[in-house]
Chain A
Amino acid sequence: MKRALCLGLRFLLILSFVFTMLIQSSEEWANAATSGTPTSFKVTVTKIEMHNGTSYVEIWSGTSEIDLSTGGTFDGIDDITLPAGTYSLIRVTIKNAFPVKGDLTDGAIHYYTTAATWPGQTTGTASVGTTTAGNVAYYTFYNPAWGSLNASVTLPEQTISPSVVVVAGVSWIPTLRFTLTNKLTSTDTGGGGGYFTISAPDVTIVMP
């Protein structure tokens, strides 16, 4: 009887220990990573093509960067000549390099992005966080799924529906939109340290 009681107590002790560990680990998990929206996210467009029913026509090529957080018209991609025709597809080529700046509160600590890469991580994937607001800086992320850092990425072609018929005087202005909400993640490594990572943004071309 005593032995059974002893075994039962031991079982309860182990159970309470496991329960305590679970609670502790879930708290740590909650503090481990926080997601938010970057305050600045820059993208560079290098080429725009549109399909006229027969083939793709290069509408523009060059280098034009814009901060998508503030938005606006891409510098140089403004009032450019669009030959007459009926266009049903559009595709945009961008640079796989996205200068990002942001800050997040992870637990009780507020972190800011810096230009340095977190030790042990690949360049372009993890920004060292700083708690000093004055040291906030851009970090150039890239999306490994789209190739190497600075590589040219032709985004999937997008259907223009209904097709746009260009004649003299027609002005056609689509919008390149990145979904950035909660794409920036801050990870607290403990001891007042942390780093930022970014998830692949969703990209769409919004028709006018």
Chain B
Amino acid sequence: MKEPKAGESGDTRADSIDRRDFCKKAIKRSSIAAVAGVAGYIAYKKPAVRSFFGTKEAYANSTNAGTFSLKGDSD
């Protein structure tokens, strides 16, 4: 039988448990990241809508507006 190298487990059962544990932790981390992402998105989105009378259109119009001035003279 071939000798396991340093850092390698010679037990396939132990490997399987390690992988399962790693997957569980990965899923947990991903779900936390997803929840944080959604929460961040909602937190970012809400103030923008609230700032302009609660409508997306008003927000869009305000951000895309230019400016107007009127001069007067004579000839």
Contacts and interface: CB of A to CB of B under 8 A. Distances in A.
Mutual binders A and B: yes
Interface of A: 41, 43, 45, 48, 59-60, 66, 68-69, 71-74, 77-84, 92, 166-181
Contacts of B12: none
B74 A172 contact: no
Contacts of A176: 70-73
A66 B69 CA distance: 14
B71 A72 contact: yes
Contacts of A43: 72
Contacts of B66: 82, 84, 166-172
A74 B70 contact: yes
Contact of A81 (B67, B72, B74, B75): B67
Interface residues on B, range: 10 to 19
Contacts of A73: 69-72
B51 interface: no
Interface of B: 61-75
Given A81-B65, A172-B69, A178-B72, 19 more contacts: A48-B70, A60-B68, A72-B71, A74-B69, A74-B70, A80-B68, A80-B69, A81-B62, A171-B66, A171-B67, A171-B68, A171-B69, A172-B67, A173-B68, A175-B71, A176-B71, A179-B74, A179-B75, A180-B75
A172 B69 CA distance: 7
Contacts of A48: 68, 70
Q: Which residue, B65, B66, B72, B74, has most C-beta atoms of chain A within 10 A?
A: B72
B69 A84 contact: no
Contacts of B65: 81-84, 166, 168
B75 A174 contact: no
B71 A170 contact: no
Contacts of A167: 64, 66
Q: Which residue, B69, B70, B71, has most C-beta atoms of chain A within 10 A?
A: B70
Nearest to A38: B74
Contacts of A177: 72-75
A177 B70 CA distance: 11
A68 B73 contact: yes
A37 B66 CA distance: 37
B74 to A, nearest CB: 4
Nearest to A165: B66
A83 B61 contact: yes
A177 B74 CA distance: 5
